[in-house]
Structure 1
Amino acid sequence: MVSCPPESSNQENSRSRECEGGTFGLDCLQQCHCSPEACEKERGICTGQCLDSWFGPYCQSLPVIEKAPVIVSTTSTTVGLRWDAWSEEDDIGDHPLIGYDVFVKKDGDWVMDQRVDQLTTSAIVSNLTPDTDYSFCVAAVREGTGGTGPLSPRNNTITLCTKPSASPSGLHVAAINTKELEVTWEHLPSELAECRSGVTHYMIYYASTGSTSLNSVMVPNDTSSYTLRGLETYLDYSIQMTASNKDEESDRSSETIGKTLEEVAPSPINVAITQSTTHSFTVSWYTPLPSNINGNIQKYIIRYKRTDPAGDGNYKMEEVLTGAFDGEYTVMDQASKISYTVQVQTVNGAGSSNWSEPVNAKTILLGDDNVTRVPLGAVIGGVIVPLAFIVILIFTVVMYRRIKQRRLNAEPAASPPNSAHETSSKYGNSAYDDSDTHTYQDLNIDTPNIQNLTDAHTYQDLKKPNINVIYQNVTESDPGNTYEDTV
């Protein structure tokens, strides 16, 4: 007869032994999630008193956020946070998730600030104190009391400072060198900086009066003076200052005006002689840029000297008291027909400019000092008009003489009476007709029947009559062009 072997002693020992230390199972190798007295030894069922990070009647695991939230923004009273969403597949814990709790720590204790739903992974923490240290963390939350998971790692930040409550005082500006202004001020007290860091630096803002371009320069917090360089000459500058802490800049101070120093003016340009008379000449000039002339123009000085050998080589000076940017001046009481070299100089508060380029002037031999300069057009007109009148007069006389000559040539010669012959008033000769230079008479031939005085080319043969002829004196005038025949 075969019988079953008796049960081994090892099995009997394992059944008779109870698990200890919060373990369960046949080999007591599995860990309960609750206190030892609340853990069922064979199946590991908990009846309460769950360990940390375990939740529910069966002590299920709580969701865990493993990374610290990221700080995305910071102001003096707010901090913006963002974190990674909890994932059932990738992160520790059991679902369902209902949201996240945001925790804030200021002076030692963690305080829950707000809860956001499970679809939101960011938050803005508000109503914070400026310039204060804060820590932030996040926890995932399941349903029910005690469903908040363990806190995530934390992230720290400091809220920003507010702007300083005052600007620098005692602002003073002085011109010590050309193109420079020295700015001085009083330090801002640290309690007015509104920040534990105090004042970190100062800002100087400056611009020339009327300019739309604003310049700025940063100066350290350990100084109370600064020199602005590279400025324009003799201009007003408006200057303001601010104080800054590590985060904010104060309001600007009230304006303070500073003026850069004068400099010697540039020499005049476009110097010219605009008029000369027998005893004077007039010189004109202009002032070049910059338009501020490096200062206030007080006067101009004109110097001149003779250039002919009779001159002594010394300059004579005359002042023109004007602040205008251009000018004209007449040098009087000079000898006539003398050549001069002339220069102009500008004088302001900083001194005298260089002399201008020289120009030549010459008084004339004839002229009227009381007559102002005559325009060129008037001179030309005064010459042309008389010439035109003379030409017209000559032309009229010539035409008149020609017309008169034509009329004389057109008149026919008059026939003399039968009883007498016309005698030339020029020679007192009855055989010569002065009115026609081509008519001749032969006194030895009697040709009474062929005489034709109207033919300018007819020869007349006449017998010499037996008459006595009385001739007039050829030196006397014969106004009638007649003579007497006496038989």
Structure 2
Amino acid sequence: MLFCSLVPPVPQKPPSVLSNENGLLRIDLNFEEYSGDGPIKAVLLYYKRSLSRADWQQYLVEESLENSEIVLTSVLLEYDTEYEFCVALKRPGPGGEGRKGPSMRATLSCEEPSVKPEVTLQPVSEDTIKVTWSFVPSHKNMIITDFIISYRPSGLRSWKEKIVPKTDVNQYLITGLQMGTLHYFRMSAVSCGGTGPHSTMQSVKTEDGGMFMHTKSFEMALLLCFV
């Protein structure tokens, strides 16, 4: 009786980049051509940072093998970091996974925002302005990390900046402003790719503290009349 030793399959080609835009890295696994024995049961994608001595990370692509393409995002990879990718194939039975095939390198690109925030301003007190904004990224995969609020009083050219981390609350109070003074505001969104364009510059005047003091004095006078 003759026993045939099966050879685990090994890809002959490295994976290749189909497209890299809008935070989506599309890769062709190129597993159709392989040496060794089939049938192929699963495709495994291995990845690690380029020039890193760390162990390969494994990602089970699929078992149906209907499509050789895969889309990677920032859930798996860090932006603007070069990674090395390779593919391994697995056939049924013990020891069915073959060695890793040829590798290729790619970087998940990160672009800066191209959309301006929509900003509204509201005086709250003599030294406080409430900034409220709305922002819709140019595509759903863009990850906004912060917003930068720039402001200055009328008569000065230098801007102060407040970095506000992105949360579900799209408003922020700017305090410590000059009383009864016109202030200019603008805003921009920040991603890992950089800072986007400024919003349309707007102006608003802080409340006049004199009216506030006059009201308080009037209330005090009324109180004394009833004592």
Aligned residues: 146
Aligned-residue sequence identity (percent) comes to: 14
In the alignment, which residue of structure 1 is the partner of 2:217? none
C-alpha spacing 1:182/1:253, structure 2 compared with 1 (3 Å): closer
Letter of the aligned partner of 2:161 in structure 1?
Answer: M
Q: TM-score, normalised by structure 2?
A: 0.51
In the alignment, which residue of structure 2 is the partner of 1:319? 163
Cα deviation, 1:48-82, whole Å, max 9, x if unaligned, reads: xxxxxxxxxxxxxxxxxxxxxxxxxxxxxxxxxxx
- Where does 1:38-437 land on structure 2 (aligned, <5 Å)? 172=15, 177-179=20-22, 181-186=26-31, 187-189=33-35, 251-252=65-66, 256-259=70-73, 261-290=109-138, 292=140, 294-295=142-143, 297-307=144-154, 311-324=155-168, 327-366=170-209
Quote the offset at 1:306 in angstroms. 2.0
Quote the offset at 1:267 in angstroms. 3.4
Letter of the aligned partner of 2:114 in structure 1?
Answer: P
- Runs of at least 5 residues in structure 2 that lack an aligned partner in the other structure: 1-8, 40-59, 74-107, 213-227
Output the CA distance in 1 between the equivalents of 2:111 and 2:18: 13
Structure 1 consecutive aligned stretches of length 4 or more whose deviation exceeds 6 Å: 168-171, 238-242
Quote the offset at 1:184 in angstroms. 4.0
Quote the offset at 1:178 in angstroms. 2.6
Output the CA distance in 2 between the equivalents of 1:173 and 1:323: 36
C-alpha spacing 1:317/1:293, structure 2 compared with 1 (3 Å): farther
Cα deviation, 1:203-234, whole Å, max 9, x if unaligned, reads: xxxxxxxxxxxxxxxxxxxxxxxxxxxxxxxx
State whether residues 279 and 336 of structure 1, in contact with CA within 8 Å, keep that contact through their aligned partners in structure 2. Answer: yes
C-alpha spacing 1:254/1:182, structure 2 compared with 1 (3 Å): closer
Output the CA distance in 2 between the equivalents of 1:266 and 1:299: 14
C-alpha spacing 1:313/1:175, structure 2 compared with 1 (3 Å): farther
Quote the offset at 1:253 in angstroms. 6.1
Letter of the aligned partner of 2:127 in structure 1?
Answer: H
Letter of the aligned partner of 1:292 in structure 2?
Answer: K
Quote the offset at 1:357 in angstroms. 1.0
Output the CA distance in 1 between the equivalents of 2:20 and 2:113: 16
C-alpha spacing 1:188/1:268, structure 2 compared with 1 (3 Å): same
Output the CA distance in 2 between the equivalents of 1:173 and 1:331: 49
Letter of the aligned partner of 2:120 in structure 1?
Answer: A
State whether residues 147 and 187 of structure 2, in contact with CA within 8 Å, keep that contact through their aligned partners in structure 1. Answer: yes
- Runs of at least 5 residues in structure 1 that lack an aligned partner in the other structure: 1-165, 194-237, 243-250, 369-487
- Structure ranking higher on relative contact order (CA contacts 8 Å, 6+ apart): 2
State whether residues 132 and 172 of structure 2, in contact with CA within 8 Å, keep that contact through their aligned partners in structure 1. Answer: yes
Which structure's residues are more often strand, by fraction? Answer: 2
Quote the offset at 1:258 in angstroms. 1.4
Letter of the aligned partner of 1:277 in structure 2?
Answer: S
Quote the offset at 1:254 in angstroms. 8.2
Kindly report the root-mean-square deviation, in angstroms, between the aligned alpha carbons of the 2 structures.
Answer: 3.9
Tell me the SS of whatever aligns to 2:34.
coil
C-alpha spacing 1:364/1:352, structure 2 compared with 1 (3 Å): same
Q: TM-score, normalised by structure 1?
A: 0.26
